[in-house]
Each structure stands twice: as C-alpha cells, then as structure tokens.
Amino acid sequence: MADEGDGPKDRELTEKEKKEIAKWFLANAPTGEIQYVAKDVRALIADDHLYGTAAAEAFPLFNKAHLVVLEMPNRSGDVIISSFGEIDKDKYLDPRTAQVATVDHVKQICTKVRPATDEELSSAYVEDFRFAVDSELCKYVVDTYPKGASSVYCTRGKDVDGPGADFDLAVVISASKTSPQNFCNGSWRSIWTLEFKDDLQSVEVNGKIQVVAHYFEEGNVQLDAKNECRDSTILQSPDDCAIALTSIICHHEAEYMASLEEAYLHLPDTTFKDLRRKLPVTRTLFPWQNTLQFSLNRDISREFGIGK
C-alpha cells in the first residue's frame, strides 16, 4: 500500500494563474460591488504588484460591460464608459457635451476632460439626427429611470455630409441602484443600434436589454435577464425620426419590464416550489400560502425604482 506521502501534492499556483483568477473575480463582480470584491481579492493575493496588474486589466472590462456612468469635472456632465465612445484605453467621448473624458478605471473617477476634435465628432448632417435623438431620449430616460443616464453615438458614417448615404447611431441607456445597506444592488442596461438606410428610406432598430440584480440578505439571489428585439420606422426629418425612435425604444422597454414583473408574480407558484422538496428534512411543510413574504418583485421594485 502506497504511503500517503506518495500521492499527488498540492501545486502552488503561478503568478499568471493567480492574476487570471483575480481578474475573473473582479470582472464578474455584481453591479456596484467591484470595490468590495477588490478589497477581498487584494487581501487574498497579498501581493500589491500582482493585484495592480489584475485590476488594471479587469476594471476596464467591468466598467464597459456595466456601462458605468462617471461625473465629469466641474459638473459639466456625465460620461458613460462604453465601447462606442472609447477613443483609447482611458479616454471616452461624450457626444452630448463634445468632450473627451480621461478616466481612472480602478478608482472609477473622471480625472480631466478636453474638447473633442473635429475628427472625433460627426458631420453636421449626421449630428442633426444624433442631437435630435439624444434630446428626445433624455426626456424619456429622466421620466423612466430615477438614476439613469443615456448617450447617443455615431458608430458608422460619421463623415456623411448629406442625403444619399447610410449611417448608424447607437443609443446607450444605463441605470443603476446600489443599496448595499439593504443587501440589494442592480442595474438596467440597454443598447439600441439604429441603422439609417437611405436607399430604403427606413431606420432599422435592434435592441439588447439586460437587467441584473443581486439580493444577498441571508442568501445569494442573482437575476441576469436578457432580451433582444427588432423594429423599424421610416426615414424622416431629424425631429420626426427622434420622436418615432424614442417611442419604439419606450414601447419595447416597457413591454419587457412588464414581462419581468409578470414572471416575478408567478415565482411563488413555479420557480420557488421547484427549488424545494415538498417535505424537507424538518418534516415541516413549506408555508406556500405566505410566500408573499419572500417577494423579490416587491423588494427589487422598491429598491431600484423599477417600473415607476
């Protein structure tokens, strides 16, 4: 019989492996919780240089994936950290104020801003459409999301100087509510691609919506819901296009939120029951008649202001 010492020994992780593990935990932190995760990861690694390397790679991924909103200096506006406005690894365009913000990803702050160059902005023709959509969208976001931000970017054809050519806009909406004292954090993120097709005199709309929530009072419940949708409208004047496109976005987002709320209402009769045996080891039946006390719909709606 082989001695216990002859078996495989625990292998020490390499620095590269430690960095990749730390990077994974940071990049996959729940909304509003990356700084808490970072504190624990840093303590576990016990190597400031290794942690710094992992954080420098993970934080930009997290910030862009979560569409983190940062306030620019002098309260000149907010910049959304997204791939659509990314000029380089730490500079992001805010089309609304025509400024480029320099950000510190790890500290999640905006350190300085500068005016955007002509090359970084759209032509006057495209800007008319971008500005009109942005203005109309702002009204919708203010009315719908208590702590929401939005931006509209030109992603293709920004040099188009008149009718006869195609161009694309991207609408980004980001709203989050962090309430760690109530063990509840979450966010709403939606991206809408608007394809202006001159030959067809139409605008094709493709939307991607993601709702995430983390509820961790005496447990760990996470929601990660995604939805995609398509629609279209006719190509009109900038102002008319803006009204029609915002109406489409509003319709699909409201419809998806209604479907989520409907699903929450049926959780006690479906999902919750499937998660438990009818008679647990305590030999006591679960009180299904009082499942409202476990209502995620009530708690999430109250904490995030969803549907208001």
Between CA 107 and CA 40 the distance in angstroms is 16
Distances (CA, A) of 192 to 25, 57, 87, 172: 29, 27, 20, 7
Write down the mean pLDDT value for the chain.
Answer: 87
Assign 254 a pLDDT band (cuts: 50, 70, 90).
Answer: very high
pLDDT at 263: 79
Assign 6 a pLDDT band (cuts: 50, 70, 90).
Answer: low
State pLDDT tens for residues 210-244. Answer: 999 998 877 788 889 999 999 999 999 999 999 99
Percent of the chain with pLDDT over 90: 69
**Residues 32/212, Cβ–Cβ less than 8 Å:** no
Segment among 50-59, 139-148, 293-302 with least mean pLDDT: 293-302
User: What domains, with CATH codes, occur in the chain?
Assistant: 12-65 (3.30.1140.60), 66-121 (3.30.1140.60), 122-261 (3.90.1150.210)
Between CA 130 and CA 96 the distance in angstroms is 9
Average pLDDT over every residue of 200-216: 94
Average pLDDT over every residue of 145-163: 94
Between CA 175 and CA 211 the distance in angstroms is 10
**Residues 133/243, Cβ–Cβ less than 8 Å:** no
State pLDDT tens for residues 94-136. Answer: 999 999 999 999 999 999 999 999 999 999 999 999 999 999 9
**Residues 279/271, Cβ–Cβ less than 8 Å:** no
Average pLDDT over every residue of 37-41: 94
- Of 212, 195, 192, 213, the C-alpha closest to 203 is 195
Between 205 and 300, where is the model more confident? 205
**Structure token digits, residue 199:** 């030959």
User: If you average pLDDT over each of 25-34, 44-53, 130-139, which comes out highest?
Assistant: 130-139
> What b-and-e string marks burial along 155-168, b requiring 16 or more CB atoms within 10 Å of the CB?
bebbebeeeeeebb
Helix (H, G, I), strand (E, B) or coil at 259: helix
Assign 1 a pLDDT band (cuts: 50, 70, 90).
Answer: very low
pLDDT surpasses 80 at 308: no
HSE at residue 11, side-chain half, CA atoms within 13 A, is 6
Cα 161 to chain centroid distance, Å, stands at: 32
- First and final CA of the chain: distance in angstroms? 69
Average pLDDT over every residue of 286-298: 54
Helix (H, G, I), strand (E, B) or coil at 285: coil
Segment among 31-40, 152-161, 213-222 with least mean pLDDT: 213-222
Average pLDDT over every residue of 292-298: 53
**Structure token digits, residue 80:** 């959304």
pLDDT surpasses 70 at 304: no
**Residues 186/148, Cβ–Cβ less than 8 Å:** no
Eight-class DSSP state of 30: P
**Residues 231/255, Cβ–Cβ less than 8 Å:** no
Segment among 55-69, 187-201, 215-229 with least mean pLDDT: 215-229
Average pLDDT over every residue of 281-298: 55
pLDDT at 289: 54
Distances (CA, A) of 24 to 7, 65, 160, 252: 30, 13, 41, 33
Percent helix / strand / coil, the chain, rounded to 5: 40, 30, 30
Helix (H, G, I), strand (E, B) or coil at 163: coil
